[in-house]
Amino acid sequence: MIQAIVDANRTRKDFIADSIVSRGPKIVGIYRLIMKSGSDNFRASAIQGIMKRIKAKGIEVVVYEPVLKEEEFFRSRVVNDLDEFKKISDVIVANRVTGDIEDVLDKVYSRDLFNAD
């Protein structure tokens, strides 16, 4: 049972990364690392696997996370200016779609169907 869960998670990460890469981006932006609004829990393990797969294809990954004070996250540059982040990112990966990125929905990759946590 545990192996099936591990395999399913690997398959899900592969699918997400392949879907993002298929868009042909030069820079992929990761919008927010926290799981839910108001939280301080980073979804580090899941997103790191996706970031690793994207970077393995030679694609730069940048992170926008205002509560993160470090200049790098998982060896990816942290961009603290939202407008700059949106400008440089060819694809923006978002756990949830918020008003902050509605102006660039054509760039957003999200599984958030209902704009809710």
Q: Residue 100 carries which DSSP code?
A: G
Domain ranges in the chain are 2-109
The structure's pTM equals: 0.86
- pLDDT for 38 equals 57
Residue 114 DSSP code:
S
CA–CA distance, 92 with 54 (Å, rounded to integer): 13
114: left (phi over 0), alpha (psi -120 to 50) or beta: alpha
Question: Which segments of 28-117 does DSSP mark as H helices, in order?
Answer: 44-56, 82-88
Is the distance from CB of 42 to CB of 75 less than 8 angstroms? no
Architecture of domain 2-109: 3-Layer(aba) Sandwich (3.40)
pLDDT, one tens digit per residue, over 72-108 is 998 999 999 999 999 999 999 998 888 999 999 999 9
Q: What is the pLDDT of residues 23-35, one digit of tens each?
A: 999 999 999 887 5
